């Protein structure tokens, strides 16, 4: 006889209460994905260098027109609070002190994938699409390419573009600015 286990999906509110109660700390490398607390992979030096470079690149090109989040949480839904590597956000007067950004606040998310490509592509991209995040760039460090995803739908992104060395990408929200792939990858 098969035993059926009942799973309980945590909400973002439950997740925050765990931090307040000391069950989780701000130093724990976890994120809430579809109601489950997922341990995040350690950040290697190549990954960290890429994120630092992206921060500098986007800050230089977009300046005061955006808020840049680095490995900060976003509230994608009632049951998901992922931590994308870079988030390009609409400026808000409170600098997001009252709440984490939601999809309505997001221009672009970037995920840097070194050892987490399958997780980022199969789990997080679908989560972002279902949350209606308008655009996500997945930096595949091993293949030295950037995958650009647009037009979110409940089944994933409808538009996918692969860009390689020598190419450039332009964010939909900022059509006057292009980012060279060679400047984005380490």
Domain definitions of the chain by residue range: 42-184
**Residue 2 has what pLDDT?**
79
Instruction: Return the CATH fold of 42-184.
Output: tt1808, chain A (3.90.1570)
Q: In this predicted model, what pLDDT tens digit does every residue of 2-61 receive, in sequence order?
A: 788 888 899 999 999 999 999 998 889 999 999 999 999 889 999 999 999 999 999 999
**Residue 3 has what pLDDT?**
82
Full-model pTM: 0.94
3-state SS class at 67: strand
Q: In this predicted model, what pLDDT tens digit does every residue of 73-99 receive, in sequence order?
A: 999 999 999 999 999 999 999 999 999
**What is the Cα–Cα distance from 88 to 107, expressed in whole angstroms?**
6
String of b and e for 111-134 (b: at least 16 CB within 10 Å)? bbbbeebebbbeebbbbbbbbebb
Whether pLDDT at 125 is above 70: yes
Whether pLDDT at 1 is above 80: no
Whether pLDDT at 134 is above 90: yes
3-state SS class at 36: strand
């Amino acid at each position: 006889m098969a035993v059926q286990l009942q799973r309980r999906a945590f909400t973002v509110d439950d997740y925050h209460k765990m931090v307040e109660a000391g069950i989780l700390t701000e130093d724990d490398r976890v994120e809430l994905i579809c109601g489950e607390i997922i341990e995040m992979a350690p950040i290697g030096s190549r990954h960290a260098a890429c994120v630092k470079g992206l921060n500098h690149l986007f800050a230089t090109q977009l300046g005061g027109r955006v808020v840049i989040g680095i490995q900060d949480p976003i509230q994608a839904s009632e049951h998901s609070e992922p931590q994308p590597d870079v988030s390009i956000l609409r400026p808000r007067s409170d600098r997001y002190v009252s709440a984490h950004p939601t999809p309505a606040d997001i221009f672009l998310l970037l995920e840097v994938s070194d050892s987490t490509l399958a997780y980022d592509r199969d789990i997080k991209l679908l989560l972002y699409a279902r949350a209606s995040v308008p655009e996500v760039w997945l930096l595949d460090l091993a293949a030295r390419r950037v995958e650009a995803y647009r037009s979110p739908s409940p089944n994933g992104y409808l538009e996918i573009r692969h860009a390689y060395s020598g190419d450039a990408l332009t964010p939909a929200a900022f059509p006057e600015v292009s980012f060279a792939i060679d400047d984005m990858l380490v």
